[in-house]
């Protein structure tokens, strides 16, 4: 039997170290961080090294049915006249349902005077599949991000008609909620003065639209509300209460 040569021993040792290094690299950077199958090789390696890359937003939104819209600062201010002008041109495709002045005669939501960040977010949610509606999904398919911001600024700029304030004594649910049943007052989020960013203005929306959306949140067929804010609220309401708050907002002025 020949004793192994010192040189080949060194070679085997080097090879062993190399194999162990490769295996450790593969396990550390690829296999272990690979729990999320939507990530590519590069993203897995970045994550393993401690650099968290932005998730692939579209596929995640579509997969989970949840919203992940980050509203840019420009959506929170009044539009410039250029943005409003471009939005007005794009909005010619929308008038059939949302009305020439952003006020629908057909139970589609009124968009006139809606907060721009709400319009922008809803359009993105329709485009990414976080909120589903066959018509709206098709309408937004080809819009760019800039188009959606322009449309948001245009509709936010249009006035909402004032309605008679004396007819709008708000029901208790709207003003104070029902603490015994854990129902927060609608105005704590939807209030015009001290509401929360991202909660749409509801005043003057078509009654049927309000009822539809509250039912959709209650049943979970609409789930693009961040942190389930609306689903948690709507599932506590009875059908009669949904009718009551919808009557109030449909008849109320801003
Ligand atoms: C054929 C009718 C139709 C057309 C055309 C249409 N929409 Fe809509 N839109 C709807 C309906 C119906 C809804 C409510 C969907 C639902 O029930 O979730 C809606 C919802 C919306 C919402 C959500 C509003 C909210 O308060 O949550 C926005 C924003 C919107 N549309 C913008 C647009 C824009 C911008 C266009 C043009 C590019 C457009 N729509 C074209 C019917 C239409
Ligand atoms: C904790 C905050 C919160 C409370 C309380 C709350 N809402 Fe909301 N609501 C929201 C948010 C946020 C949205 C927007 C969800 C999204 O991102 O699409 C919303 C959306 C809605 C919509 C859909 C509007 C549209 O145009 O898409 C309706 C209708 C609505 N709320 C009605 C109510 C009513 C009625 C009450 C009281 C019974 C209420 N909400 C209480 C936060 C709240």
233 CB within 6 A, ligand 2: yes
Instruction: Output the six-digit token pair for 216.
Output: 């959709």
Give residue-wise pLDDT tens across range 93-144. 999 999 999 999 889 999 999 999 999 999 999 999 999 999 999 999 999 9
Q: Which CATH number fits domain 63-157: 1.10.760.10, 3.50.50.60, 2.20.25.90, 2.40.50.140?
A: 1.10.760.10
| pLDDT at position 227 | 92
Say if CB 65 and CB 129 are below 8 A apart: yes
Q: Residue 23 to residues 13, 19, 27, 28, 32: CA-CA distances in angstroms?
A: 15, 6, 6, 8, 12
Percent of the chain with pLDDT strictly greater than 70? 75
Which protein residue has the closest C-alpha to ligand 2 atom 27?
A: 200
Q: Determine which residue's CA is closest to atom 2 belonging to ligand 1.
A: 97
Structure tokens at 198: 């991202």
User: Could you tell me the distance, in angstroms and rounded to a whole number, from the CA of residue 111 to the centre of ligand 1?
Assistant: 9
pLDDT at 54 over 80: no
Average model confidence (pLDDT) across the chain: 83
Q: Which CATH number fits domain 165-251: 1.10.760.10, 3.50.50.60, 3.40.50.720, 1.10.10.10?
A: 1.10.760.10
Mean pLDDT score, 151-180 = 84
State if residue 245 touches ligand 2 by the CB under 6 angstroms criterion. Answer: yes
Higher pLDDT, 161 or 91: 91
Query: How much is the pLDDT for 76?
Result: 80
From 139, 209, 213, mutation site for ligand 1 pocket: most ligand atoms within 8 A of C-beta: 139
pLDDT at site 33 = 53
What is the model's pLDDT at position 47?
A: 53
Q: Which ligand is nearest to the CA of 235?
A: 2
Q: Which atom of ligand 2 is nearest to the CA of 69?
A: 17
Instruction: Give Cβ neighbours of residue 4 (< 8 Å, ≥ 6 apart).
Output: none
The whole-angstrom separation of Cα 113 and Cα 102 is 8
Angle between helices 207-219 and 239-251 (to 10 degrees): 140
Which residue would you say has higher pLDDT here, 64 or 130? 130
Nearest-angstrom CA–CA distance, 47 and 50: 5
How long is the chain? 254
């Amino acid at each position: 039997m020949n004793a192994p040569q010192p040189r080949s021993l060194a070679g085997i040792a080097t090879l062993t170290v190399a194999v162990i290094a490769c295996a450790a690299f593969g396990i550390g950077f690829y296999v272990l961080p690979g729990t999320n199958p939507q990530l590519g090789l590069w993203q897995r390696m970045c994550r393993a090294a401690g650099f968290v890359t932005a998730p692939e937003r579209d596929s995640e939104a579509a997969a989970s049915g949840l919203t992940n819209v980050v509203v840019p600062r420009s959506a929170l201010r009044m539009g410039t006249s250029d943005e409003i002008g471009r939005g007005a041109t794009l909005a010619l495709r929308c008038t059939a349902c949302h009305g020439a002045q952003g006020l629908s005669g057909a139970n589609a939501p009124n968009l006139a005077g809606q907060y721009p960040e709400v319009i922008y977010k809803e359009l993105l949610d329709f485009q990414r599949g976080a909120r589903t509606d066959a018509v709206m999904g098709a309408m937004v398919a080809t819009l760019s991000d800039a188009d959606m911001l322009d449309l948001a600024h245009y509709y936010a700029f249009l006035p909402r008609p004032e309605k008679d304030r004396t007819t709008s004594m708000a029901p208790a649910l709207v003003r104070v909620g029902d603490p015994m049943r854990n129902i927060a007052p609608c105005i704590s989020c939807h209030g015009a003065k001290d509401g929360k960013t991202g909660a749409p203005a509801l005043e003057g929306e078509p009654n049927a639209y309000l009822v539809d959306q509250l039912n959709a949140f209650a049943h979970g067929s609409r789930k693009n509300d961040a942190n389930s804010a609306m689903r948690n609220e709507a599932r506590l309401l009875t059908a009669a209460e949904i009718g009551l708050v919808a009557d109030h907002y449909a008849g109320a002025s801003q």
